[in-house]
Amino acid sequence: MRSRRPCPAPVPRSAFAGFRFPPDVIVVAVRWYLRFGLSYRDLEELLAERGVEVDHVSVYRWVQRFTPLLADAARPCRHAVGDRWFVDETYVKVAGQWRYVYRAIDQFGQVIDVFVSPRRDVRAARRLFERAIGRTKIRPVEVVTDRAATYPVVLDELLPAAWHRTEQYANNRVEADHGRLKARLRPMRGLKRDRSARVIIAGHAFVQNVRRGHYELAAEEPVNRRVAIAFAELAVAI
């Protein structure tokens, strides 16, 4: 009886398979969009100057498709977050409607998590904390917020042992960090869809963390090269 040869293990299919442009072009467009205050049409023009003729709609699709994949690939390399959390919400306009962006950072400046909600309420605040705790496996010993009535309810439920601070100016760290997000969103002149808002806001936080050295990705490289090198490494992984 003839013995059967074992089948070779299947090779994982690259996330870039089926795309017309090579991975390095796609990744640089996604990186530029998340890092700099550029519109999709700006990127179309910049790529054309480099001999790459691509429509701005394709760049939009690349950002929506590859931003979550790159962030997920980097997750095992992420540093553990601190045990002092600064939490606050800001707002953005999506399709003409206001959306609240809940953001949490730690004492080292790492963006812990972000959550986009149509409402500013207990449910939204709870969702931010549940996601942040679930993803990081960290339960903070101190949480700094403003005096919104939603936070004591959520913290009593999820983190009853944490010290909740609400004094004036204590939350300046995260409030100042909102400005970096707003600066990135300003050239967009309003987001059009909730899903794209979630992807872009989370992607901005991811790039911000990479640039600040909160991942074991190009951490020893100069700040002005760190994101480019990290994205090139991650492109191979997906």
**Region of 190 on the Ramachandran plot (φ > 0 left; ψ -120 to 50 alpha; else beta):** left
Return the bridge partners of 137, or none.
none
- Other beta carbons within 10 angstroms of residue 148's beta carbon come to 16
Q: What is the DSSP letter of 118?
A: S
Q: What is the mean pLDDT of each run of 10 residues along the chain (238 residues)?
A: 46 80 96 93 96 95 96 95 96 91 96 96 97 96 96 97 94 90 80 92 96 92 93 93
Tell me the C-alpha distance between 212 and 236, whole Å.
22
- Predicted pLDDT at 1: 45
Query: For 135-138, which contacts have Cβ atoms below 8 Å and span 24 or more sequence positions?
Result: 136/80, 136/81, 136/112, 138/80, 138/81, 138/82, 138/83
What are 21's two structure tokens?
Answer: 């442009």
- Predicted pLDDT at 5: 46
What are 161's two structure tokens?
Answer: 């042992």
- Predicted pLDDT at 9: 43
Residue of 134, 142, 112 lying closest to 214 (CA atoms): 112
- pTM for this prediction: 0.89
